[in-house]
Amino acid sequence: IFRERNYSAIVISGGARSTSHWTELVGQGMAITLSGALAGTLIEENPDVVDRIEAEVAPEILAELRQTFPDFVRACDQGALVPEEFRSYGPVVRFQNSLLKGFATVIGEIQARQGK
């Protein structure tokens, strides 16, 4: 949608857990955070760098995703998620909770090192 409307945007992906989370998201306008361990694995494996972000997804895979994950439909279909629902949308809530948990851990570590 953002390309159709000519929006200027970069897709930011975080939480990569396997090399495929990097290799399958390669493409223009992508930013992916990696752990040191995963970066090391990628350097070691040296996978081909192929622009896959624009690849078509097989219809049977899309059908399975739509049937299995209602949130997938809400994320992909225009009008399926209205702006007022965004804050309570499951994937957004899970991301925010994960971010807050990580932030609290970092703050706790800083306070412990400062003796607070």
Q: What does the pLDDT profile of the chain (116 residues) look like in tens digits?
A: 777 888 888 888 877 888 988 888 887 788 888 888 999 999 999 998 888 888 889 999 999 999 999 999 999 898 999 999 999 999 899 989 988 999 999 999 999 999 97
The first and second tokens of residue 100, run together, are: 């807050």
Alpha carbon distance 59, 18 (integer Å): 25
Domain boundaries defined on the chain: 1-55, 56-116
- The confidence score (pLDDT) of residue 69 equals 93
Angle among Cα 3, 34, 37 to the nearest 5 degrees reads: 155
Question: Coil, strand or helix: which one is 31?
Answer: strand
